[in-house]
Amino acid sequence: MGQEITATRFNAEDLARFAQGLAAETRLAADTFRRGGFAQQGRVAGFELEAWLLDRNFYPVPCNQSFLARMADPQVVAELSRFNIELNGEPQPLTGTALSRLEWTLADTWSRCLKTAHEDEATAIAIGTLPTLRESDLNLSTMTPSKRYVALNQQVLKARQGRPLMLDIAAPAGGDHLCTTHADVMLEAATTSFQLHLQVPSHQIVRHMNASMVLSGPLIALSANSPFLFGHRLWHETRIPLFEQAVDCGSDRQAHGQRVSFGDAYLGEDPTSYFTDNAAQFPVLLPISSDAPPKAFAHLRLHNGTVWRWNRLLIGFDDARQPHLRIEQRVMPAGPSVIDMIANAAFYYGVVHMLASAAVPPENALPFATTRANFYRAAQEGLDAPLTWLDGRTRSAADILIDLLPMAREGLKDQGIDARDIDRYLDVLAVRLRTRRNGAAWQLAHHAQHGDLFKLTADYLEHQRSGMPVHEWPI
């Protein structure tokens, strides 16, 4: 959810000043790209992992303020609710042992998080949606004390003219139907993700962004881990409809914009059109003006941080303060285990490289409407979802993923990734796909056998602590 702000209430003058700064920076971004001012070197990988704090009864416990004070790690920060935290990985050049370094960083930070949580008689768990979560857990009393979150809630409700948020999620045939209303944006706290970052030379960013969108359907099927919400069995990746509806600013798309979405089209030749579209389509939620020079892109980055596309384009800065463009791939849930998440990352970084460098751009072979349909179908049905791929054939997501594993291997090898890393992570995925056992499949099988979401959560937590990949978890 990004940076802290300094105010929670705004007037027309605030909005006008912010709009002026946003317009100037949006024009500057386009000019910077045209003259080659964004970084042209390097391939860099990184991640963010959102997680839950739980009490001994497996309910969420709102203790992130005391937890973070003791953790005292700038890479571990608060999230929207006081029972969520976020772990940030140190960016790694995408070559050599980058993947194992990402795993070591994540495992080390996660181990320290568990130790720190225990001091509050709590623990931490990485899972897309928490099976034991109650809707009553999501209220303003459990919001992390932050002006940004207070203002976000006020502005979303203002855009909705005070109407409550509607949550309506129907599972595929044989599942449940959840329909409820909620008085604030705290529904968003029910979703936790494993977000990947990829920085590439700016002249390659369009191909990589479009390839990232094309890959989103298979990627979400590979990693799905969110089948339960408020006691209901819903989508394999229930985070998707939940987040899209949790900060919906209104039903009139032209006036308000759906702020969480897959988007409407692939990127064109100028990637900064992404920022132009954000400025044009989405009203400003947080009009906090900055005195920083336009080249800091302060207004653009703040506004961009309130539009949550599943593949998001970001502007960042290197140590020398040169701006760069990078992709934030947001489709994957947290969990199940550290090695599972890094294996998912390995697959993404390998395949997206190959798709982005293919002689025929994949976006030319797969219409955007098909790519978007693949994404939602995979979120609903996971590995069994029928997806239409680049050859025009419709097959199960699992079969497509099996065919993509050699491409992932070739893509990682082409980027100079260590052969032992390639084998370690892609071998995990090969067995996962052969057994059809991702996190969602394990949770659904466990619940079908035991019918107890508390036992499911307890067993999940025990297996996650073991470090075993999910395909090895017993039911």
- Angle CA(254)–CA(260)–CA(266) in degrees, nearest 5? 80
Collapsed DSSP state (helix, strand, coil) of residue 450: helix
Question: What residues contact 201, with CB distance under 8 A and at least 6 apart?
Answer: 39, 40, 41, 42, 43
- The CA-atom distances, in angstroms, between 1 and each of 5, 53, 302, 329, 363 are 11, 18, 10, 15, 30
Instruction: From first to last of the 475 residues of the chain, give the pLDDT tens digit.
Output: 455 456 667 889 999 999 999 999 999 999 999 999 999 988 999 999 999 999 999 999 999 999 999 999 999 999 999 999 999 999 999 999 999 999 999 999 999 999 999 998 999 999 999 999 999 999 999 999 998 899 999 999 988 989 999 999 999 987 799 999 999 999 999 999 999 999 999 999 999 999 999 999 999 999 999 999 999 999 999 999 999 999 988 755 444 458 999 999 999 999 999 999 999 999 999 999 999 999 999 999 999 999 999 999 999 998 889 999 999 999 999 999 999 999 999 999 999 999 999 999 999 999 999 999 999 999 999 999 999 999 999 999 999 999 999 999 999 999 999 999 999 999 999 999 999 999 999 999 999 999 999 999 999 999 999 999 999 999 9
CA distance 306 to 212: 21
- Residues paired with 179 in a beta bridge: 168
Q: How buried is 293 (Cβ within 10 angstroms: 0-12 exposed, 13-18 middle, 19+ buried)? A: exposed
What pLDDT shows up at residue 6? 61
336 preceded by a cis bond (ω within 30 of 0): yes
Helix 419-435 vs helix 98-118: angle between axes, to the nearest 10 degrees?
A: 70
The full DSSP string for 130-190 is -TT--GGG-SGGGB-S-HHHHHHHHHHHHHTTTPPEEEEEEPSTTS-EEEEEESSGGGGGG
| Residue 90, number of CB atoms within 10 A of its CB | 11
Q: Is the pTM of this model over 0.85?
A: yes
Give residue 267's pLDDT.
98
Task: Give the number of other CB atoms < 10 A from CB of residue 141.
Answer: 9
d(CA 436, CA 341): 16
Which residue is listed with tokens 């034991």? 132
Q: Is the dihedral of CA 270, 275, 277, 280 positive or negative?
A: negative
263: left (phi over 0), alpha (psi -120 to 50) or beta: left
Instruction: Give the three-state DSSP class for 387.
Output: strand
Q: Are 199 and 352 in contact (CB under 8 A)?
A: no
Q: How far apart are CA 460 and CA 475, in angstroms?
A: 10
Asked if residues 394 and 386 have their Cβ atoms less than 8 Å apart, the reply is yes
What is the DSSP annotation of 210-277?
A: HHHHHHHHHHHHHH--B-EETTEE--TBTHHHHHHHHT---S-HHHH--SEE--SS---S-TTHHHHH
Asked whether the beta carbons of 150 and 8 are under 8 A apart, the reply is: yes
CB 135 within 8 A of CB 190: no
Residue located via tokens 């992390």: 144
pLDDT value of position 255 = 45
3-class SS at 22? helix
pLDDT at res. 3: 54
Tell me if 61 sits within 8 A of 53, measured CB to CB.
yes
